[in-house]
């Protein structure tokens, strides 16, 4: 095989590989998937099969297409946020801010199956929530028609679920 034909075959192979590889990094806008080293720091000494995942896929909005939720790093500063890619759109569920909400290295994700989920206002932790549960805006339970997303942090879990009317995600706390 000539040198020219070897180079052409190599370029063709690279082009084919690029065409077949999902362009997840381009589809995440200002975020990127976590590196292998960042994922390793998430798992620490915990066996890989018992650590909460850093990404999950499900049809969160019921449109028949899989959506992808993931803990991703911002390209600008490497800080972790929780985002959901739905088609060509990114929904930011947690944008980490100094002194505010954040996504820690030990945080993970889970899927919430359709059905009834009691919030912090519908279980034994109700009395610990102060005025939150006295608000008519905070439900004692939510019923999911489609899968929801669990953001699991030490001592806390948030349930995110698609609100069809608002075309965005709503969130409730599950335990404190």
Q: How confident is the model at residue 38 (pLDDT cuts 50, 70, 90)?
A: confident
Rounded Cα gap, residues 88 and 106, in angstroms: 28
- Whether 43 maps to a domain, the answer reads yes
Domain hosting 73: range is 30-175
pLDDT per residue as tens digits for the range 3-22: 544 443 443 444 433 443 34
Residue 22 covered by a domain: no
Segment 110-126, tens digit of pLDDT: 999 999 999 888 765 55
* More confident position, 175 or 6: 175
Q: Is residue 19 part of a domain?
A: no
The number of folded domains in the chain is: 1
pLDDT of 72-92, one tens digit each? 999 999 999 999 999 989 999
Mean model confidence pLDDT for the chain: 79
């Amino acid at each position: 095989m000539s040198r020219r034909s070897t180079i052409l075959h190599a370029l063709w192979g690279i082009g084919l590989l690029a065409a077949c590889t999902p362009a997840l990094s381009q589809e995440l806008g200002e975020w990127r998937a976590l590196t292998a080293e960042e994922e390793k720091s998430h798992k620490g000494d915990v066996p890989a099969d018992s650590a909460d995942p850093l990404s999950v896929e499900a049809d969160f909005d019921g449109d028949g297409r899989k959506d992808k939720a993931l803990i991703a790093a911002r390209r600008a500063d490497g800080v972790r946020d929780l985002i959901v890619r739905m088609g060509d759109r990114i929904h930011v569920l947690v944008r980490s801010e100094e002194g505010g909400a954040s996504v820690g290295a030990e945080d993970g994700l889970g899927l919430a199956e359709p059905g009834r989920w009691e919030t912090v206002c519908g279980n034994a932790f109700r009395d610990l929530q102060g005025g939150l549960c006295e608000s008519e805006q905070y439900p004692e339970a939510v019923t999911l028609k489609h899968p929801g997303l669990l953001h699991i942090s030490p001592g806390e879990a948030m349930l995110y679920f698609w609100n069809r009317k608002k075309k965005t995600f709503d969130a409730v706390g599950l335990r404190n």
